[in-house]
A and B are shown apart, each in its own frame.
Chain A
Amino acid sequence: MEPTALAFKDNARKAIANPDLQDALGRIRSGWQVTRRRAALALDEFEALRDRGRDIKNHTLAHLDLYLEAFEAKVEENGGRVHWARDAAEARTVVRDICKEAGAKTVTKSKSMVTEEIALNPYLEANGLTPVETDLGEWILQVSGQAPSHLVGPVVHLTKPEIAGIMQKELGGPRLETAEEMVGAARRVLRQKYQDADVGITGANFLVAETGTAITVTNEGNAELTHGLPRVHVVIATIEKLVPRMLDAFTLLRLLARSATGQEFTSYTTLVSGPKGKGDLDGPEAFHVVLLDNGRTKMLGTAFQEMLRCIKCGACMNHCPVYLAAGGHSYGWVYPGPMGSVLTPQLLGIEKAHPLPNASTFCGRCEEVCPVRIPLPRLMRLWREEAFRRDLVPPTARRGLRLWGWLAARPALYRRAAGLASGALRLLGGRRGRLRRLPLAGGWTGSRDLPAPEGGTFMAAWKRQQGRRP
């Protein structure tokens, strides 16, 4: 997928002007925001579990080499094979070779962001294979040539009529009206695909070093049909998915569904640890795990190591005012929302993604809800600084920041300037106390009103308060 992160502003402007998209995104506020809150409150230990989750990931990352070794040894002991890949190209080749060796024609896939990251589908197609996405949302995207816009709900950007249109185009026949009809129709089509597939490719939510297990989590049950029916199962995962023990995975699993959709637990959590055993009536004959770096080791040992704790729950985007206005596609690549604003510059290079760390109001909601307590605003700020250092910030913004910096270093002058600005805004705001339009701030006021300052500046209020103190 050709990244368009540099065009974030334009992308977002279009997204905000698209009523269907706004309608679709609005559902997140009344949906996942509410359900997550309820689930978090319903579990007394939730906050303490977040600390544990953070600690487990920190410990694993600090000993990643040892856990990778342990995992590899265990998978092979269980009769599976481990492959390593430095980058996307290597990972694609590994997967293609496994498919070729298996004499595969069709490949079923259960939802995996990593395969989006390495653009696996187009590559497999170019190599004569037919990949079929089996997650309902991913399938809708595949048949309509779109990319996912959310980590957990890949089609949150689509309304029901839009999906009906896509399905009619794909399947022919009459236009389906209800979600039930649509789910049923997709079920019938994909049923056959599961059984025809030679290779099943899944991601993994966690890899357990102690047991050599890959854990998949789905609500639909498509991952199990993907790893249970074809002759070969390939797990592809980036190296930070490791956890030491199954018990550690349980702690993180308690956080994952609650943070993502507000469910107590996802319908299907499956621990797969190898190919089928002697006498087994189902399961794959071969089990492969592809361990992919693709930029993760560059984050280790830096401030961005914290980002590697991410369990891809999507909570940060569900609570991000920028994501909820701009939608996932505005971020221009695979990973949207606050986590994308940190990860994308890392994976593509800041020069290809510098608007993203600015796509934030720094309200801090993302960090508040992140189950593994990733300091997303701080990491975004680090990228901003890096972008500034590298001269990637547009000249007007640079001049503005420089002027602000100059003023900020001169307190008396700063206070006078702030006082003037505040007074002017108050006058402009009038009785409504809100500004619909403000010269030079169209980007802000285009989609929302600016509240006019109610009193004087902070410093003025501070002085008054101090004066009143005994």
Chain B
Amino acid sequence: MTGARDAVMGRVNKALERGDGAEARARGRVAAWLADPEPNLIPRRGLRPHEGRVGLFREMAERVQADVARVPRWRDAPAAVARYLRDRNLPQKAVMAPDRRLDRCDWESQPLLRLSRGTALGRDEVGITLALGGVAETGTLVLASAPERPTMLAYLPETCVVLLATSRIQGDYEAAWRALGHELDRLPRSVNLITGPSRTADIAQELQLGAHGPKRLCIVLVDEPEA
């Protein structure tokens, strides 16, 4: 509807009352803002060295009911996942992101854990995927959609397991966003910032987990960097 577009833009223009010279100046201000090298006001909280960031990430994530495990190497991750599922009497059956980085884990070490690869469907009870970043200031995971990392793995199953290299934990959202920009050559369809499992307090302001998304969020932190 070009009529509507022109009408709305016309109204905006009229309301802002810019003369000809002012128009160019306004464009200049917009260009300056978009290119603004001045950093955001970053909360000090997240600005700490690596180990402090990992500690804060964990503390903040646990505060919002995420379960966090930490293992030294990628090949230790499967045992942590299997243990998590066993301890909670959950099925040892999961659908996992087809991301090649997950192949480095020694999944064969857990013969009871049956895995399929792909995106989650309604009947899948456990989803396993990989985060591209973490934000210490609020214990937030940064997931980015891609063919090898379908979004629904983190939303449909009742239990969501996310693996994250601790080297990817940044202090703040800005740093995480920058790191994502460096790593990917195009903006993913969906970047999901996830802070704890799904929740609602709609019923009498009582906190309930698992409103539509996962009831449980298990974060497995891996200290060994990705190759």
The interface of chain A, by Cβ under 8 A from chain B, is: 24, 27, 31, 43-45, 48-49, 52, 59, 62-70, 78, 83-86, 90, 94, 134-137, 140, 153-156, 159-160, 163, 179-180, 182-184, 186-187, 190-192, 194-195, 209-211, 213, 219-222, 224-225, 227-229, 239, 244-247, 250-251, 253-254, 261, 263-283, 291, 293, 297-298, 300-302
Tell me the nearest residue of chain A to B29, going by C-beta: A63
Q: List 19 A-B contacts (CB under 8 A).
A: A52-B40, A154-B202, A156-B205, A179-B203, A183-B211, A220-B212, A227-B190, A229-B152, A245-B33, A269-B195, A272-B189, A273-B187, A273-B188, A273-B191, A277-B146, A282-B119, A282-B150, A293-B11, A298-B11
**Structural contact, B211 and A63, CB atoms closer than 8 A:** no
* A140-B202 CB under 8 A given contacts A67-B30, A83-B1, A265-B138: yes
Specify which chain B residues have a CB less than 8 angstroms from the CB of A281 in the assembled complex: 118-119, 147, 150
Q: Nearest Cβ in chain A — how far from B69, in angstroms?
A: 20
| Cβ of B43 under 8 Å from chain A | yes
Contact B17 A301 (CB under 8 A): yes
Contact A136 B41 (CB under 8 A): no
Q: Are B202 and A136 in contact (CB under 8 A)?
A: yes
Task: Give the docked Cα–Cα distance between A192 and B211 (Å).
Answer: 14
7 A-B pairs besides A134-B212, A277-B147 with CB distance below 8 A are A84-B1, A160-B206, A184-B210, A250-B172, A269-B193, A272-B189, A273-B190
B204 at interface by CB-CB < 8 Å: yes
A210 to B, closest residue via Cβ: B34
Q: Closest 8 CB pairs between A and B?
A: A221-B213, A279-B147, A300-B15, A220-B211, A297-B11, A301-B15, A137-B202, A265-B138
What chain A residues lie within 8 Å of B29 (beta carbons)? Answer: 59, 63
Known: A180-B208, A221-B213, A271-B190. A160 touches B203 (CB 8 A): yes
Q: Is there an interface contact between A183 and B203, defined as CB atoms closer than 8 Å?
A: yes
| Contact assessment for A222 and B122 in the assembled complex, using a CB-CB cutoff below 8 Å | no
Interface of chain B residues 187 through 227 with chain A (CB within 8 A): 187-206, 208, 210-214
Counting chain B residues whose Cβ lies within 8 A of the other chain, the interface size class is 35 or more
Query: Which residue on B lies nearest to A219, using beta carbons?
Result: B199
User: Which chain B residues lie closer than 8 Å to A90 at the CB level?
Assistant: 1, 4
**Bound state CA distance, A273 and B177, in angstroms?**
14
Instruction: Tell me, rounded to whole Å, the shortest Cβ–Cβ distance linking B203 to chain A.
Output: 4
How far does the alpha carbon of A43 sit from the alpha carbon of B45 in the complex, in Å?
8
Q: How far is the CA of A179 from the CA of B156 in the complex (A)?
A: 21
Q: Which residue of B lies closest to A283 (CB)?
A: B189
What is the CA–CA distance of A266 and B147 in the complex, to the nearest angstrom?
26
**Does chain A have a CB within 8 A of B173?**
yes
Contact assessment for B210 and A183 in the assembled complex, using a CB-CB cutoff below 8 Å: yes
Using A221-B214, A253-B173, A272-B189 as known contacts, say yes or no to A291 and B138 having CB atoms under 8 A apart: no
Select one of B8, B190, B200 contacting A220, CB under 8 A: B200
Are A264 and B118 within 8 A (Cβ)? no
